[in-house]
Structure formats: C-alpha cells, structure tokens
Amino acid sequence: MNTDLPDGSWPRLHEFARWLGAFVFVPFYRLRVHGRENVPTTGPVLMIANHSTMVDGPVLFAVSPRRPVFLIKKEMFKGPLGFLLPRIGQIAIKRGEPDRAPLMTAVRILKGGGLVGIFPEGTRGAGDVDEAHNGAAWLARTAGAVVLPVACRGTLRPPGLTKRRFRPHVDVLVGKPFELPADKGRAALTAATERVRVELADLVAELDRLRAGRPPASNSKEHEA
C-alpha cells in the first residue's frame, strides 16, 4: 500500500507523468531549478508555492524530487483531466466553501510521510503572495509537517507584452523548510498563516532578485542552485 499517494492512485502512472513532465516543457520554457537540495528526503512535507498561471502546478509536479500530491480546484477535474488527475495522485478541492474530505486525505498523506503541495493564495494572480488562506497552516500543524516554501517565476507573460515569448526562462527556487508552532486556537492559526505568507513572499522577492541579477537581500537566507 502506498502511503504517500491517495487511494485510487496508480503509482506507475504517477511516476510516468513526472518523467514525461521533464520533457513536455522543453519546447516552451528554459527551466531552471535552484535549491533542489532543500527538499527533505523523508518525512511529511507541505510544499507551499505562489500561483500566477495554470502552468505552475505541472512545472512543480515535474521538478519535484519526491512524489507530490497537490490540492487542485475541483473545476479542473473534468473531461480527460477528470480521469487522469486522481490516478496520478492529485486531490480535488472545492474553493470558497468548507471541504473537509480532501483536507483529511491530505493530512493522511502527510502523516504517512508524503509530500503535499498547496497554493496558499487560493487562486491565480500576480504571484506576489499578498495574502494567504488558513488551509496551509492548518494542514502543516494538524499533520506535524515541515513547511517547504517554493517560488516560481516566468510562466506569467509580463504586463504589456502581447506577443508570445520564445522559450522564456522559468525559474523555481526552493527555500529552506521551517516548522510552525503547535499552539492551538484561532489567534495561533492566524499567526501561523501570516508566517506562511511572509516566508513565501520573501522567497518570491528573493527569486525576483536572482532573476534580475541583483544580490540577495542582506537579511535573506542564502540559496544555491
């Protein structure tokens, strides 16, 4: 029994999809991954990432060195994707309303030592992480998982650019994992959520500096490619 994938998943198809993802993006992007060594090799990990386009999730799925299980909006589970996504271990979740079942599935995966990915912003935007929902902090604290911030830039077409870019650079920066305090109560959850937001927003800003060729901020953690 696979404890790092949801029930009904096809592990071999999951592995094939990740392998295929390493080649699918080659004609479209020049993909660079920085800090891959920061991904813990074992134990429960909650990956948090910024979100600007629909490509972010598939990119992170392909470059992850471990089996990633993402929480994906239920609207995506239609047609061929409705067949494929559950079988490669992805979890459908309703946005904007309580949806406990998929969250508990994610908790089970984490407690089984797996890696779960979530976009704390809740929806696509500029990807600057100006806000975050409570779900990520709740999952990490409930399952006792470390939080792994991951920033992705380059999938969103710059403002004012109307023509399609030819193989733009897409960068993924993996930050240092951190733990959230296990304090109970709504105030503690709010504080943990803000920690999640700040850590991820700082990492996104760090990636922006890296892409621009500027030195890292003096108070930032060092990231090596």
Mean pLDDT per 10-residue segment, the chain (225 residues): 88 95 88 96 97 90 95 93 96 82 96 96 78 93 97 82 75 96 91 96 95 72 39
pLDDT of residue 223: 37
pLDDT (0 to 100) of residue 182: 84
Please tell me the predicted confidence (pLDDT) of residue 157: 76
pTM: 0.90
Cα–Cα distance measured from residue 128 to residue 135, given in angstroms and rounded to the nearest whole number: 18
pLDDT at res. 224: 38
pLDDT at residue 99, as a whole number: 77
| 61 backbone dihedrals φ, ψ, rounded to 5° | -60, -40
| Alpha carbon distance 173, 127 (integer Å) | 14
Q: Which two tokens stand for residue 42?
A: 């074992």
Q: Are strands 68-73 and 115-118 parallel, antiparallel or unpaired?
A: parallel
